[in-house]
Every structure is written in structure tokens, then in C-alpha cells.
Amino acid sequence: MIYNEEFETLPREALEALQRKRLQQVVQRVYHTVGFYRRTFDAAGVTPDDIRTLADLPRLPFTTKQDLRDNYPFGLFAVPLSSVVRLHASSGTTGRSTVVGYTHRDIETWSELMARCFVAAGLTKNDIIHNAYGYGLFTGGLGAHYGAEKLGASVIPMSGGNTKRQLMILQDFGPTAICCTPSYALNLAEQGRAMGVDMRSLKLRVGIFGAEPWSDKMRDEIENVLDITALNIYGLSEIMGPGVAMECLEGREGMHVFEDHFLVETIDPETGAVLPPGERGELVFTTLTKEAFPLIRYRTRDISRIITAPCRCGRTHHRMDRVTGRSDDMLIIRGVNVFPSQIEAVLVGIQGVEPHYQLIVDREGTLDTLEVQVEVSEALFSNADEVRVLQKVERRIAKDLKDFLGITAKIKLVEPKSLQRFEGKASRVMDKRQI
Amino acid sequence: MKVEQVSVFLENKPGSLEEVTRILKEAQVNIRTLSLADTTDFGILRLIVNDVDKTSRALREKGFRVSRTTVVAVEVPDRPGGLHGILEVLKKDNIMVEYLYAFVEKSGENAVIIFRFNDSDAAIEILRRNNFNVIAGDKLYSF
């Protein structure tokens, strides 16, 4: 099934003509309304008029997450705030999060794209959608919610957490579809079985999973324990939120990027050179229709590849493969994005703690765990050789990580010699997860 | 009249205590008495040794986090009510005990109790006023 038959199955030629026209419009618009783009285009020696065809896209400079932070909070908005009806933000300590805005029309577009995702998953207005993506500043919850309403389905705005309640509603309301992170789906199944719930006999028939990397092996496991079809969805708040790309029920091999609204490229993360389709590299997106927060050649740091082969579902939009990694050191812990530098910033803010640390990421059962190993500083230990003082510091670190970054971590104080002295920051992270 | 104690931060993992005792053996340090406070993740080893400087230097060199804290050593007769007598007088002046540990002297007549108080100076003053035998550091190190 296809929600917007006309646009999702546009012949490539017509689609590319539409993309070209929209690209030219957005480039003109950002050049004239956002100081940042005027400066970067000028510095790169390119003007909006130079963009004659899609092949001219690589002439435009990249936009990075750092650019978003430098222009925090609203510096990259292309419309006055009076036209913005919604704000979302990534987690982060002050000044480091990225803020995105939406106009009425942006919300309308986003809702349609999420509705397209649900229909690609075989859902109709007769379905009940259990939405366990977090509601709030995170785009997941509200993004999926608006799409479900747009489709006319019945949406249960569960948000994350409170697993027992989720299990009760899964049994009592009988939702036919669920949206959450893949690891949370496994966690629900595990806790449900522990409570004696027959998870395979629920009315669920399809799951739409995203916001963290997962594998085909995890897909098999989810499909088996819940007796559903599990589909992959892709999105990021900077580009829009969930609904940038979605796997179709018919193909189940790669996610269709909604190309009438986004241009996707893959680049070599080292050189920035554009790679031919099919080659694995960093995904770069350009928004074609967004009004409040358009982005030109945004480097996602997600590693994937583009599949141009036609899909049996009939959509003409190219697909992107599963995201297999990152070209930076961002960690995704239970669907929450966090950089080691953000954890470091929290540690630096706590008296008596030195930023000598190591992060151990693992998966216990179905849930990601983060252990932050912090060196006991000379200053802390010489003031107090008492257990309760050290434990108080542990609790303080855990609380600050939760408050500032939204992550739950186990804090472990360690001897100075247990931690290597790192030159770079990449090796501060030990990721033991087998995904 | 105060006593210097060496405290060492230890992770709870096999061999961490053994490493400390090996370093002390190699440095020819004699342990007078010790105690170990522990949690699920870490412990604090507290030592009274014959050479505080040598001990803390040797452990620091091997990458341990070491601190020197002030404790008070009090001699009490080794019989029922010995410890109680001390705590009784301290209670009146609201002196708090952070932790304590004890050992029996070689002669077997008396016990020595090592206290960490919230206020060492006040505690010593009170104990001496009440005729308790507060042992000086240099005497204790060479017991």
C-alpha cells in the first residue's frame, strides 16, 4: 500500500525535475534569509544561481552538527519565530544541544511522511498504534503520533518507560502496531513473558522500529518473540525526526528515502568526496521543502549506502541500507544519543572529579547499559577516606548524567592506574554490544 | 597526640589487596594494624604502619590513590565495658565516630582502639581530661 501514490511513485525523471526545482528554491531562500548560509556559500565561492542541476549539489558546502551548536538556539531558522509552531531539541548540556523548529506546513509535511511510513508498514485507519517512542523534546513520540492521526489510525500515546503499564495496555487495548526502539521491543517481550503474558498471542501484527542501530539478527528475534513483522524506520531530528526513510512491507530490504522532500548523498567521511550509489559512506541530507529549519548538505555521521535498484513495492524513491555505524564517536544508549564529550562536560562540572574516565557500553539481556568509570581524584580522596563521601560523589555523577543528558549510567570509581591515559577520545569508549 | 593513618582506595577486583601487601613487603613496611571498609564496587584500606612516608610514597608510585588521615589511638583495658567507657564520655560532648577498629597489644593486657572522629582535637582533649591513655603516633608506629 502507498499513502501518496502520486509522489511516491513519480517516474525518476519527473522526481528529479521536482528535486531540482525544490533545491533551487531552498538554496535561494537560505542564502537570502540565513546569515550562516550566506557566509558559507560566499566562502565556498558559490551562489544560488550556480545550482542549475542536481549535479551541482556537491558545490554547496556541508553543514555540521557543530554549525548547529554554534548557532544555538535559533540561529539557523529561516523564518521568524512567529511562524514557528513547534520546537524540538536533542539532549545536551547547555549550549550543546541542537534545536529544530517547524512551521505549520512543516508539521503537515512531517505528519504526511510519517503517515506514508505507517502505510508502507501495511497499516490503515483501522489500526491501533501503540506509540512507545518518547514524547517531549525528542522528536520520536510526537512525530509518530501526528503521522498516526494523519492516517486516521487510533494512536495510544504511551511514550517510554513504565513497562508494566505498557504490557497491560498491549493486552487490554489490543494495538495492532507498535513503535519503539528495537531493544525496547525485546525488553517488553522479555518482561511480558516473565509476567506470564503470552506475547505471541497479542493482536500486534507489525512493529516500526528505529532510533538506534539494530541488525537482521535482532529483527528475527523480535519477529519470533512477538510474532509480528518488524520494519526499520530512519530519521533524525535535524532533518525532521522519524519518517525520513522507511522500509516497505513488500521489499523489507532498505528504507525508501522520501526523495520528494529530501536529497540524500553518501560521502567519504575523511575527504568529503561524494561516493557513487551503492558504496558505503556517510549519509548527507538536504531538506527540499522544510520552511523553518532547512538544512543544506547536513552531515549525519551515520554510515550506510544508497540502493538505486527498483523495489517491488512500486515506489520509485531510492532506498538506504541499515545504518551500520557512525563516523564519529556518538553513542546511542537505549535510543538516547550521547557524545563522550558531553559526559566529560558533566564530569568536569563536579567538584572532586577529574575527567579521567572510560565508558563501557554493553547490553544486558535486551537493554543497553552504560558504565562510567571515573578516577578517584587526589583532591577527593585526600579530603575524605570515608565510604559515604565517595558514594555521595557516585550518586551525584549519576544524577547529573540523568538530569543533563537523560541517560542512566552506573558509576564506578576506579583506581588511577586502572584507566589508560588517552591521547584521543575515541578509545575512551569500550562498546561490548553484539548487535 | 594524633596518629597518622594511610588510606588506600581499592577497586573490588581479585588481587588488588595482594598488590598492596606486596608493595609494602618490598618496601619493608610493617603493618601495625589495619581495617578494610568495602562496598560492592570499591573498598578503602586503612593502615597503621611503622613508616607513613615510605608507605604512602611506595603506593603512590605504583599508581594507587593514597591519603593520609588523622586518627586517634586510645588504650583501654581488655575487659567488658572498656570501649563503652570511651564512648560514654564522648557522647556528652557530641563527638561523632566516623569509623573505628581495634587490636590487642602484644602483652594482652590492653586493647588499642583507632578512632576517626569528626573533631580529633576536641576528642583528645575530652579523653585526656577523663584520664584515658591517648597514644602518641611515634609510640604506636613502633609498637
Strands A319-320 and A255-257: antiparallel
Tell me the shortest Cα–Cα distance from A262 to chain B, in angstroms: 49
What are the CA-CA distances from residue A286 to residues A19, A260, A262, A263, B26 (Å)? 10, 11, 6, 5, 66
CATH number, domain of B34, equals 3.30.2130.10
Whether the Cβ atoms of residue A350 and residue A356 lie closer than 8 Å to each other: no
ipTM comes to: 0.84
Cell readout for A342 is 558531553
Residue carrying C-alpha cell 580529633: B120
| Window 233-252 of A, Cβ < 8 Å to B | none
pLDDT band at A94 (very low <50, low <70, confident <90, very high): very low
Same domain, B77 and B62: no
Residues of B whose CB is below 8 A from A414: 11, 42
**DSSP string computed for A152-184:** T-EEE---S--HHHHHHHHHHT--SEEEE-HHH
CB-CB under 8 Å, A417 with B67 = no
Q: What does the pLDDT read at residue A420?
A: 64
Same domain, B107 and B51: no
Whether the Cβ atoms of residue A389 and residue A322 lie closer than 8 Å to each other: no
Nearest to A381 among B39, B41, B67 (CB): B67
Q: At residue A95, does pLDDT exceed 60?
A: no
Q: At residue A89, does pLDDT exceed 50?
A: yes
Q: What does the pLDDT read at residue B50?
A: 93
3-class DSSP state for residue A372? strand
How many angstroms separate the CA atoms of A82 and A282, rounded? 35
What proportion of chain B, given as a percentage, has pLDDT over 70?
Answer: 99
pLDDT band at A252 (very low <50, low <70, confident <90, very high): very high
Look at residues B86, B88, B71 and name the one whose alpha carbon lies nearest to residue B35.
Answer: B71
Residue carrying C-alpha cell 522520501: A258
Instruction: Provide mean pLDDT across the span A28-34.
Output: 98
pLDDT band at B95 (very low <50, low <70, confident <90, very high): very high
Q: Facing residues of A179 across strands?
A: A131, A208
Helix extents (H) in A349-431: 378-383, 387-405
CB-CB under 8 Å, B44 with A415 = no
| Window 85-114 of B, Cβ < 8 Å to A | 98-99
Look at residues A380, A378, A375, A372 and name the one whose alpha carbon lies nearest to residue A418.
Answer: A375
CB-CB under 8 Å, B41 with A417 = no
Q: What does the pLDDT read at residue A367?
A: 82
Same domain, B61 and B121: no
Same domain, B60 and B11: yes
Residues of A whose CB is below 8 A from B42: 376, 390, 412-414
Instruction: Provide mean pLDDT across the span A299-308.
Output: 95
CB-CB under 8 Å, A376 with B41 = no
Query: pLDDT higher for B129 or A384?
Result: B129
Tell me the shortest Cα–Cα distance from A379 to chain B, in angstroms: 9
Edge-first strand order for the sheet with A367-376 is A410-414, A367-376, A353-364, A429-431
pTM for the model: 0.77
Whether the Cβ atoms of residue A197 and residue A167 lie closer than 8 Å to each other: yes
How many angstroms separate the CA atoms of A156 and A146, rounded? 11
Instruction: Provide mean pLDDT across the span A117-131.
Output: 98
Which of B3, B5, B11 best probes binding to A when mutated, by most A CB atoms within 10 angstroms?
Answer: B11
Q: At residue A426, does pLDDT exceed 80?
A: no
How many angstroms separate the CA atoms of A391 and B53, rounded? 28
Instruction: Provide mean pLDDT across the span A243-265.
Output: 97
How many angstroms separate the CA atoms of B15 and A21, rounded? 69
Which of A390, A391, A415 best probes binding to B when mutated, by most B CB atoms within 10 angstroms?
Answer: A415
Q: At residue A383, does pLDDT exceed 80?
A: no
Q: What does the pLDDT read at residue A212?
A: 83
Structural domains of chain A ordered from first start? 5-327 (3.40.50.12780), 333-431 (3.30.300.30)
Same domain, B88 and B113: yes
Same domain, B59 and B9: yes
How many angstroms separate the CA atoms of A375 and A422, rounded? 13
Cell readout for A354 is 577529574
Whether the Cβ atoms of residue A290 and residue A240 lie closer than 8 Å to each other: yes
Q: What does the pLDDT read at residue A433?
A: 82
Residue A246: CB atoms within 10 A of its CB come to 28
Across A137-141, A146-150, A387-391, least confident range: A387-391
B35–A contact, CB cutoff 8 A: no
Query: pLDDT higher for B2 or A266?
Result: A266
Same domain, B27 and B45: yes
pLDDT band at A145 (very low <50, low <70, confident <90, very high): very high
Residues of B whose CB is below 8 A from A415: 9-11, 16, 63-65
Label residue A71 exposed, middle or buried (CB < 10 Å: 0-12, 13-18, 19+): middle
Instruction: Provide mean pLDDT across the span A371-388.
Output: 85
Instruction: Provide mean pLDDT across the span A21-37.
Output: 98
A52–B contact, CB cutoff 8 A: no
Could you give phi then psi for residue B48, rounded to 5 degrees? -110, 120
CB-CB under 8 Å, B37 with A382 = no
Same domain, B39 and B102: no
Tell me the shortest Cα–Cα distance from A381 to chain B, in angstroms: 6
Query: Which contiguous run of DSSP H or E holds residue A330?
Result: none
| Domain end (from B69, B93, B112) | B69
Find, in chain A, the residue whose alpha carbon is nearest to that of B63: A417
Residues of A whose CB is below 8 A from B16: 415
What proportion of chain B, given as a percentage, has pLDDT over 90?
Answer: 71
| Domain end (from B69, B86, B101) | B69
Nearest to A391 among B7, B39, B66 (CB): B39
Query: pLDDT higher for A284 or A330?
Result: A284
| Domain end (from B69, B86, B118) | B69
How many angstroms separate the CA atoms of A87 and A137, rounded? 8
Helix extents (H) in B27-136: 52-61, 82-92, 120-129
Q: What does the pLDDT read at residue A380?
A: 83
Number of structural domains chain B divides into: 2
Instruction: Provide mean pLDDT across the span B105-118.
Output: 87
Going by the DSSP 8-state scheme, the letter that residue A230 receives in this structure is: E
A416–B contact, CB cutoff 8 A: yes
Q: What angle do CA A395, A396, A401 make, to 5 degrees?
A: 100
| Window 381-400 of A, Cβ < 8 Å to B | 381-383, 385-387, 390-391
How many angstroms separate the CA atoms of A81 and A86, rounded? 10
Q: What is the pLDDT of residues A359-374, one digit of tens each?
A: 999 988 778 899 999 9
Same domain, B122 and B75: yes
Residue B112: CB atoms within 10 A of its CB come to 22
Q: What is the pLDDT of residues A197-223, one digit of tens each?
A: 999 999 999 999 998 888 888 899 999
Nearest to A416 among B41, B65, B116 (CB): B65
Torsion of CA B11, B14, B18, B20, to 10 degrees: -20
CB contacts < 8 Å between A and B, how many?
55
What are the CA-CA distances from residue A169 to residues A50, A148, A197, A272 (Å)? 55, 18, 12, 48
Query: pLDDT higher for A45 or B138?
Result: A45
The residue segments making up the domain with residue B36 are 3-69
Helix extents (H) in A254-324: none
Distant-in-sequence, close-in-space partners of A136: CB < 8 Å, separation ≥ 6:
A159
Residues of B whose CB is below 8 A from A386: 37, 44, 98-99, 116
Same domain, B83 and B41: no
Query: Which contiguous run of DSSP H or E holds residue A209?
Result: strand A206-209
Q: What angle do CA A190, A196, A198 make, to 5 degrees?
A: 75
Same domain, B75 and B47: no
CB-CB under 8 Å, A415 with B16 = yes
Q: What is the pLDDT of residues A39-64, one digit of tens each?
A: 999 999 999 999 999 999 999 999 99
Same domain, B53 and B112: no
pLDDT band at A352 (very low <50, low <70, confident <90, very high): confident
Q: What does the pLDDT read at residue A381?
A: 87
Could you give phi then psi for residue B38, rounded to 5 degrees? -140, 155
